[in-house]
A and B are shown apart, each in its own frame.
Chain A
Amino acid sequence: NAGVTQTPKFQVLKTGQSMTLQCAQDMNHEYMSWYRQDPGMGLRLIHYSVGAGITDQGEVPNGYNVSRSTTEDFPLRLLSAAPSQTSVYFCASKRTPRAGNSPLHFGNGTRLTVT
């Protein structure tokens, strides 16, 4: 059982380039989300999805697009990278969107540098 898998682990982009960060989970979780982690800021929610075909914005959605065509996959797209998007990105999934006791399961992150 792989859990949440993120690829790539590291990426360097030039300003203006585009790329897709991949996230896949094999736990049949309804809820998936993307966070960025910056020093002193904790984790900030970018986008989330409560099921296939449904996505919504979090705290810091500008500059990022997502789609959820299957339950397993939730890719994050940067259309035109900017230095401000240099960060560590985490994908997380949860069995259901509802609160309660179930945990968020995190991948190991993608470290992105934009020069």
Chain B
Amino acid sequence: TQLLEQSPQFLSIQEGENLTVYCNSSSVFSSLQWYRQEPGEGPVLLVTVVTGGEVKKLKRLTFQFGDARKDSSLHITAAQPGDTGLYLCAGATGNQFYFGTGTSLTVIP
């Protein structure tokens, strides 16, 4: 059972465009994290959100945690080729960390 569903699964956009990735679940999480993964490497943490409704910004990336702590979104403004990668959300419940299905982003120069 996949607790976290991400959409879209694949996204290919031109440099300079904006995009939003969604991470949805029917479960409540105590915190939610977003990771980015490059080919041949393990995921690397981008941000953690803990409070329902919380918004965090990391340069051109904006992360939001849903009010009910069941979902999250990642918005990228003016995407650049360096943003290309696999984006994964991860929810914490108890001692287990569940990952989403992933969104593969390609930004074309």
Q: Which residues of A contact B (CB under 8 A)?
A: 4, 31, 33, 35, 40-45, 48, 50, 56, 58-59, 90, 92, 94, 97-101, 103-104, 106-109
Contacts and interface: CB of A to CB of B under 8 A. Distances in A.
A41 B99 CA distance: 9
Question: Chain B interface residue count: which class?
Answer: 20 to 34
B2 A108 contact: no
B99 A42 contact: yes
22 contacts: A4-B42, A35-B99, A41-B2, A41-B101, A42-B2, A42-B6, A42-B100, A43-B99, A59-B98, A90-B43, A94-B97, A97-B95, A98-B95, A99-B30, A99-B31, A100-B31, A101-B48, A103-B33, A103-B45, A106-B41, A108-B40, A108-B42
Contacts of B50: 99-101
Given A103-B48, A104-B97, A109 B92 contact: no
A33 B97 contact: yes
B68 interface: no
Nearest to B43: A106
